[in-house]
Structure 1
Amino acid sequence: MTEIVDYDLYEVPPRWLFLRIETSDGTVGWGEPVVEGRAKTVRSAVEELLDTYLLGEDPSRIEDHWQTMYRGGFYRGGPVLMSAIAGVDQALWDIKGKQLGAPVYELLGGRCRDRIRVYQWIGGDRPTDVGDAAAEMVDRGFTALKMNATSELRRVDNPAAVQAAKDRLAAVRDSVGDEVDIGVDFHGRVSKPMAKRLATALEPYEPMFIEEPVLPEHNDELGDIARRTSIPIATGERMYSRWDFKEIFEDGSVDVIQPDLSHAGGITEVTKIAAMAESYDVALAPHCPLGPIALAACVQVDAVSPNALIQEQSLDIHYNETSDVLDYLADPTVFEYDDGYVDLPTGPGLGIEVDEAHVKRQAEESVDWHNPVWRNDDGSVTEW
């Protein structure tokens, strides 16, 4: 029997954590278990899972391992544990695919598409110069874009704040026309009353969706927001399991779900979430402002999900100031974008070859990324 015999964790810039698992037959699988800004915490959780359970186990029993990692502790769920499980799960699927000589999507039933559409970020954390940036990205072949709707907002802000968001989206729409899709991310930084006002203000420019219009702890308000606008509602990056998604599916207020393959339990769990979504006529657009391993895992799930709409990817995103997605790959052409799409990888496992030497060099750098803490004019903390 092949066994899991070793593992390594590499914290690398700009803000990622890579997991390398090795088996007794020499097969290596890669995963990306991270909560952005909490890499060291998740690292400890991964070490606990490997050291107390997975070392010495047969890597092929992925479903059983998932259930054991999830149910084997009295406390379960949440961003840290589910992100740790996610990275391990990705690595186990990578190993299985490599051992069987097939892409993961072949092991999940085979692909239902040849490629997946991707979108490109513009504008940064506090969105600026979005019209010019949008035109540049469309010139590069992208047919879908995403931008933050606002910078920080007060719980009830003034008409100028609403007008500024409206003007930014108008500038992008004027720049790229009606054949380019524009996702607008509220980023959980918008309160319920402001979400209602912004949705109304942005509707004439027909965004592809408004993302995370309220924080997940206020998902009970999504129905009210949805009834006030025809813009599709998207959410899910801070939801970590199929049980977290149950309520919004049953409520019927969400049109696009965005589970993160590095936060929501990995390939095993997100394929189940995607199937649940399909039964409620809800589209899938996996969240992925992360590295190449997470993106590769996303594409494997996109390949087998009939309801996959579009894929986030972080090339040139504003977080990637020191390293970018392709820097860690021995063959970066696997993620070449053509007319706003990326072809499904044909290599075994996750379909990528990680440049181990580069990963080890980068892991020697000091990495301590944390998201900024924003404050209102009165000094009170506001959502980032």
Structure 2
Amino acid sequence: MTDTIVSADVLVTSPGRNFVTLKIVTASGAVGWGDATLNGRELAVASYLRDHVCPILIGRDPARIEDTWQYLYRGVYWRRGPVTMAAIGAVDLALWDIKGKVCGQPVYQLLGGAVRNRILSYTHATGWDVAALLDAVDAVRDRGFQAIRVQTGVPGLDSVYGVTKDGAAYEPAGRGAGPVEEIWDTAAYLRHVPGALVQVREHVGPNVALLHDAHHRLTPNEAARLGKALEPVDLYWLEDVTPAENQEVLRRVRAQTTTPLAIGEVFTTVWEFQQLITEQLIDFVRAASSHVGGITPLRRIAALAEVWQVRIAPHGPSDVSPIALAGATHVGLATPNFAIQEYMGYPDVVHEVFRHDWTYAEGHLHPGEAPGLGVEVDEALAARFPYERAYLPVARRRDGTLTDW
């Protein structure tokens, strides 16, 4: 007898920051969990799920993962976009979770089994000045990381993406009535960052992988200039050098620098990556397992990228929940052209709400051997942390014009 979905419910919880979680239950009692968190727009996804997606899941066969994905993507006419794809991603993750539990296998086994023993991961080190940054780098190396994203403050600016003045953990979404407005100066950034990163490289030696995120702030010429200036640093990658909606501009960057490029955390479909991959304009795809619509399309992106010798490295900040991180690690263990997984870590209370089988040790992640994704949600504890309105910042140039944050 075919199993069916009997309920689909949305939980919004804020143990330190907001998360949107989907719970799907089948007639046989199997429970699947999915992540639909979209930082700063959480309630939009929660409503999309509750009001439009959850009702049409009831009665469907949970085993038909691909068909359900096509149904939710092609069947609604209004395609793509972060809200739609995060909602579809939550459903897809939950159905893979159920599939694994029904089969008694971790999801990576259903994807063809492990192709590596563990997954290389990187975390963030930040400092308002170079001395503080070097201390932060040493601290994360003491935790076992040998791949580190480094971000530094910029002289003359009061706020810089990824960095706090007091050394506290960075959380971009601010609680309050509206977004914080930051002042940005590209020239000051370009003057300061290459020298700062050279000092980091001299400090750690040649064997530590260093990464840096420009966070969409640069024009193609500025991006090319930065990439060329950073060639002596031997970066593992330079991330999001320019907004990539106009993908042809990456040709200019590619022509001017051999620094590896990583792009794609704000993209939501394989079609947005198509030109970047097939023209080899990037080296790493930054798609998040939840934001591109789940494990099902992430595998398609990885397959396309493999043909063109591009590797995948899913987005993994603190604003994707441990469920989405679990999805990425299962894909990572089973995917040949998987490169590295971002892992910012979570406060202890998040680990308590989202109890997970995946583990971190000595710079690497492993999804674990629990059936499904290996994450279970403590609903009673989650209910103790109600949603709090939060917004990502916006950025303005010194003359007041809005720029990319």
Q: Do the two structures share a fold, i.e. TM-score over 0.5?
A: yes
User: What SS is found at the alignment partner of 1:169?
Assistant: helix
Paired residue for 2:401?
A: 380
Paired residue for 1:304?
A: 334
- The farther-off stretch of 343-352 and 128-137 is 128-137
Does residue 1:342 correspond to 2:345, yes or no? Answer: no
1:51–1:309 Cα change, 3 Å: closer
Distance in 2 of aligned mates of 1:378 and 1:282: 39
Paired residue for 2:138?
A: 135
Would the aligned equivalents of 2:359 and 2:367 in 1 still touch at CA under 8 Å? no
Does residue 1:273 correspond to 2:301, yes or no? Answer: yes
- Displacement of 1:128 after TM fit? 8.6
- Displacement of 1:281 after TM fit? 0.6
Would the aligned equivalents of 1:209 and 1:231 in 2 still touch at CA under 8 Å? yes
Match of 1:55 among 53, 58, 68: 58
Does residue 1:187 correspond to 2:187, yes or no? Answer: no
1:324–1:235 Cα change, 3 Å: farther
Give the helix-richer structure, 1 or 2. Answer: 1
Paired residue for 2:10?
A: 9
Does residue 1:314 correspond to 2:344, yes or no? Answer: yes
Would the aligned equivalents of 2:329 and 2:366 in 1 still touch at CA under 8 Å? no
Paired residue for 1:217?
A: 245
Distance in 1 of aligned mates of 2:31 and 2:52: 18
In structure 2, give the amino acid aligned to 1:21.
I
Would the aligned equivalents of 2:25 and 2:31 in 1 still touch at CA under 8 Å? yes
1:60–1:4 Cα change, 3 Å: same
- Displacement of 1:288 after TM fit? 1.4
Does residue 1:294 correspond to 2:317, yes or no? Answer: no
TM-score, with structure 2 as normaliser:
0.86
How is 1:118-133 mapped onto 2 (pairs within 5 angstroms)? 118-123=121-126, 129-133=132-136
Match of 2:236 among 208, 216, 222: 208
In structure 2, give the amino acid aligned to 1:358.
L
Distance in 2 of aligned mates of 1:182 and 1:134: 10
In structure 1, give the amino acid aligned to 2:340.
I
1:112-167 deviations in whole A, cap 9, x for unaligned? 11210110112179999321111110111101011347737999843x43231113
Q: Could you list the runs of 5+ residues in structure 2 that have no partner in the other structure? A: 155-159, 162-181
1:215-243 deviations in whole A, cap 9, x for unaligned? 12132111211121111111111111112
1:68–1:124 Cα change, 3 Å: farther
- Structure 1 vs Structure 2: percent identity of aligned residues? 37
RMSD: 2.3
Q: Could you list the runs of 5+ residues in structure 1 that have no partner in the other structure? A: none
Paired residue for 1:145?
A: 148
- Displacement of 1:211 after TM fit? 0.8
User: What SS is found at the alignment partner of 2:383?
Assistant: helix
In structure 1, give the amino acid aligned to 2:100.
G
In structure 2, give the amino acid aligned to 1:10.
L
User: What SS is found at the alignment partner of 1:122?
Assistant: strand
1:76-95 deviations in whole A, cap 9, x for unaligned? 11111111100110011101
In structure 2, give the amino acid aligned to 1:350.
L
In structure 1, give the amino acid aligned to 2:325.
L
Would the aligned equivalents of 1:131 and 1:168 in 2 still touch at CA under 8 Å? no
TM-score, with structure 1 as normaliser:
0.91
User: What SS is found at the alignment partner of 2:376?
Assistant: coil
Paired residue for 1:361?
A: 384
Would the aligned equivalents of 2:124 and 2:344 in 1 still touch at CA under 8 Å? yes
Give the count of matched residue pairs: 374
1:169–1:15 Cα change, 3 Å: farther
